[in-house]
């Protein structure tokens, strides 16, 4: 069983932020998937790992699986990939459940799909193979894809560095907050903390902001203004967005 890629993008070009996620059909540990079509209306974290039966990857899969409900609360699905075969995937995930404990997490069952990509077609399409790091293994790539199938964030880690999963969840929360409220989020932002108001687009607006700071907007200077959005308002807004999603166009 092999995976097939269906995309008009050049084989050597990795998707960038704002690009449509390249489509493919793949065999996974949860059956065949058509990506990203099967996930329309959902956010997706599509990620790669170097190899099955390796310790860093094992720690990552235990962590991802243990946080799956937290991601699901933000309408986010997980999809993994490595260049190993399906039966290797199945054996490894069974070993994780039956034998491996990590930071108090044990008996963890991985129920999100793990793609087999022995041909490396999909990994190459997404720029997950970096010969300077390893020519036969995927690096630890992360693509955050929105409900319209558009790439919204790209994060890469080398083989030796396990990912920060709290940060991946924070990225999902921040992107959804920015979309709904039309704001930006500052460094280390968490739900409930002040967000960045779009920069004034004219001298008149900049002057008005500095002279009339109301509606909960606080300005350090004309270009640096914030406002508070309570965490519960962020949560309820995101859930409304999830229920009311419709495809663009």
Q: Answer yes or no: is 140 a known binding residue.
A: yes
Report the catalytic residues.
57
Residues linked to residue 207 through DSSP beta bridges, in sequence order: none
Binding residues for substrate: 140
């Amino acid at each position: 069983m092999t995976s097939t890629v269906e995309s008009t993008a050049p084989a050597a070009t990795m998707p960038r932020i704002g690009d449509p996620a390249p489509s493919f059909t793949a065999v996974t540990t949860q059956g065949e998937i058509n990506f990203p079509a099967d996930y329309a209306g959902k956010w997706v974290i599509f990620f790669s790992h170097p190899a099955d039966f390796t310790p860093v990857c094992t720690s990552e899969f235990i962590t991802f699986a243990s946080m799956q409900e937290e991601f699901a609360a933000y309408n986010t699905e997980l999809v993994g990939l490595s260049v190993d075969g399906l039966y290797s995937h199945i054996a490894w995930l069974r070993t994780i459940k039956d034998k491996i404990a990590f930071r108090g997490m044990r008996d963890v069952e991985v129920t999100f799909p793990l793609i087999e990509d022995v041909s490396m077609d999909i990994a190459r399409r997404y720029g997950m193979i970096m010969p300077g790091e390893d020519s036969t293994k995927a690096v630890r790539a992360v693509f955050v894809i929105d409900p319209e199938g558009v790439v919204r964030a790209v994060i890469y880690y080398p083989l030796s560095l396990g990912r920060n999963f709290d940060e991946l969840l924070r990225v999902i929360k921040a992107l959804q907050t920015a979309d709904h409220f039309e704001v930006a989020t500052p460094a280390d932002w968490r739900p409930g903390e002040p967000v960045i108001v779009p920069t004034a687009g004219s001298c008149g607006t900049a002057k008005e902001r500095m002279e009339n700071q109301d509606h909960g907007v606080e300005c350090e200077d004309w270009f640096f203004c914030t406002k508070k959005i309570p965490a519960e308002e962020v949560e309820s807004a995101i859930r409304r967005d999830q229920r009311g999603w419709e495809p663009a166009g």
